[in-house]
Amino acid sequence: MRVSSFFATHRFRPTLLLTVAMVALTALAIALGNWQRHRADEKSAAAALASAADRAAPFDLAAADSDAAAVLYRIVHGAGEYDAAHGVLIDNKVHRGRPGYEVVTPFRLASGNRYVLVDRGWVAQGPTRKVLPSVQTPAGVIEIVGRATVPPKRYLELKADTGQGTLRQNLDIERIAASSGLTLLPFVVEQTDPVIPPDGLLREWPRPDFGIDSHLSYMLQWYSLAALAIALWLVLNWRRRLEGA
């Protein structure tokens, strides 16, 4: 009876303003939800790639080329020697609450005049930032083992980075290649094998966090907002009938 009474005393009369607002908000929310779903699909594919890389046999860097995707997340190994003269320190790297640097050194492959950047690990900042830590670099031909990664293309810079000098804000392969004049492979090796004698660097590499759940959560929020916009439009456009109407 109450439902019948409501329809007897009200009628649905959508206003132009509310309709335009509903359509715009719904379209925007659905578009953003679709984008989050697309990002979740991309991250799921990346996670599957990382899982497959864990099961793959170690890759010999002598066979590496310009295709970073072929070795991404895989364990790699290779013989060569470090080019300590072009090594850099990546600033603002915090380990268990302590500020420090990641030590990145070009590694010349024995198989040819090609180099790959090796992230050799973390070193603590000294008493003052004015004095950079001194890190020993193994000399001569050695064998390295690590996991191949690709640094993010987008990053935050607190100040203009000239791409010169030992201290860098971010690990940028192209900038290091430009400043050093070296031909660098398009990925970085996070070193995992122990160094003898010990070099004092920490090598505790976190597993990649692809953030799939976050994208799915945002996707549901945007789709829920679209549904809410439609529901409010339906509710707010019911008008009480005038007497005699």
Task: Give the type of residue at 99.
Answer: P
Could you report the per-residue pLDDT of 121-135, keeping only the tens digit for each? 999 988 878 888 888
Q: Where are the domains of the chain?
A: 2-44+212-240, 74-191
Could you report the per-residue pLDDT of 161-214, keeping only the tens digit for each? 655 678 898 899 999 999 999 999 999 999 988 776 678 888 988 887 788 889
Where is pLDDT greater, at 199 or 118? 118
Task: Give the type of residue at 57.
Answer: A
* Rounded CA separation 116/107 (Å): 5
Place 7 in a pLDDT band, splitting at 50, 70 and 90. Answer: low
- Per the rule left: phi > 0, alpha: psi between -120 and 50, beta: everything else, 244 is left
Where is pLDDT greater, at 237 or 87? 87
What is the 8-class DSSP label of residue 159? S
Asked if 91 and 190 count as a contact pair (C-beta separation under 8 A), the reply is no
